[in-house]
């Protein structure tokens, strides 16, 4: 059974098409990532799937509930952590959990056990009497997650949950998500961090409201035609600028001190790059084939499909 299914899901704001005919099928108990830059349509998609925003066209079901006609029933089955989750800074960690338990009508006889479990689950037990406003960014995110889980939802929606959070807290947050999956919770997470997308079972690449790719991380990586070349010179920025100018039909990206070039014909591209870079005087030079990251694939696919919205 599908935990989430959408067909032709579309949302327009006047002439702006935020989401353009999205077809998704998310299986029970998987981590599904919606990946794309700011403005891609991730939040709009999530707001439609949680029944907050009605679609302009198309249909969607979450946990067997129609997101338009059965919104009251839907909220009992889902948890939603928005980008600005509504923690109350003047309430303690424990009081925030109790507040959300009241919202979701959690039976009082179950509140203590659920609270203790979620505090332990998120490593917040030592801080249960601390005001939420005095928590670190990572601890606030974990408290927001605990509040979204207080009513034991079957499907959890997380909108860029680790945005602005330090790397250690991001790792801890994902550790908690993996624990939830082992308990058969379906997780639908949006992120602009492509390294995080590697942690998902399956993912969708979204750009300007359109679906560019869908599958496991390995399947999405296979979308890149040819091979990925890594070019290293003493002047990486100037090298990237040169290659973009001289190879206008080729995807060229700058990654730290290395330039990545997506090449349909790696052998011919290597020779051409070597000639261009040597002529520009950027030696010493190394060019090698490497495994593409999701970021490489996203940039490459974007270059292939610039079409109108």
pLDDT tens-digit profile of 228-238?
Answer: 999 999 999 99
CA 137 to chain CA mean position, Å: 19
Q: pTM for the full model?
A: 0.85
Q: Which residue has the tokens 């997780």?
A: 187
The whole-angstrom separation of Cα 219 and Cα 82 is 29
Domains of the chain, start order: 2-221 (3.40.50.300), 227-291 (3.30.70.270)
Helix 266-279 × helix 236-246 angle, to 10°: 120
pLDDT tens-digit profile of 163-222?
Answer: 878 888 888 889 899 999 998 999 999 998 888 899 999 999 999 999 988 999 999 988
pLDDT of 303 reads: 64
The whole-angstrom separation of Cα 78 and Cα 154 is 6
pLDDT of 304 reads: 64
Can you give the pLDDT of all 309 residues of the chain as single tens digits? 799 999 999 999 999 999 999 999 999 999 999 998 889 999 999 999 999 999 999 999 999 999 999 999 999 999 999 987 789 999 999 999 999 999 999 999 999 999 999 999 889 999 999 999 999 988 999 999 999 999 999 999 999 998 878 888 888 889 899 999 998 999 999 998 888 899 999 999 999 999 988 999 999 988 887 889 999 999 999 999 999 999 988 889 898 899 999 888 999 999 999 999 999 998 878 999 998 888 888 877 776 654 444
pLDDT of 307 reads: 46
Long-range CB pairs of 140-145, under 8 A, 24+ apart, other chains included: 140/87, 141/85, 141/165, 141/169, 141/173, 142/169, 142/172, 142/173, 142/176, 143/87, 143/93, 143/96, 143/97, 144/81, 144/85, 144/87, 145/81, 145/173, 145/176
């Amino acid at each position: 059974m599908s935990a989430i299914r959408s067909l032709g899901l579309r949302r327009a704001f006047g002439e702006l098409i935020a989401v353009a005919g999205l077809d998704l099928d998310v299986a029970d108990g998987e981590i599904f990532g919606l990946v794309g830059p700011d403005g891609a349509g991730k939040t709009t998609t999530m707001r439609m799937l949680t029944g907050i925003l009605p679609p302009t066209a198309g249909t969607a079901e979450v946990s067997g509930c129609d997101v338009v006609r059965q919104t009251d029933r839907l909220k009992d089955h889902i948890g939603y952590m928005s980008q600005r989750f509504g923690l109350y800074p003047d309430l303690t960690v424990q009081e925030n959990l109790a507040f959300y338990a009241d919202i979701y009508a959690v039976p009082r006889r179950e509140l203590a056990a659920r609270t203790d479990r979620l505090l332990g689950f998120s490593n917040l037990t030592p801080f249960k009497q601390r005001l939420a406003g005095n928590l670190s960014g990572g601890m606030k995110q974990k408290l927001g997650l605990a509040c979204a889980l207080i009513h034991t939802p079957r499907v959890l929606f997380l909108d860029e949950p680790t945005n602005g959070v330090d790397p250690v807290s991001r790792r801890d947050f994902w550790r908690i998500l993996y624990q939830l999956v082992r308990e058969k919770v379906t997780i639908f997470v949006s992120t602009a961090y492509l390294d995080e997308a590697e942690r998902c079972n399956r993912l969708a690449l979204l750009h300007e409201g359109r679906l560019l790719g869908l599958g496991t991380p390995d399947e999405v990586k296979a979308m890149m035609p040819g091979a990925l070349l890594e070019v290293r010179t003493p002047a990486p920025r100037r090298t990237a600028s040169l290659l973009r100018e001289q190879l206008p039909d080729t995807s060229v990206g700058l990654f730290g001190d290395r330039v990545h070039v997506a090449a349909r014909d790696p052998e011919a591209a290597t020779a051409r790059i070597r000639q261009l870079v040597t002529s520009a005087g950027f030696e010493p030079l190394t060019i090698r084939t490497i495994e593409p990251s999701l970021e490489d694939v996203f940039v490459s696919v974007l270059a292939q499909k610039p079409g109108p919205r």
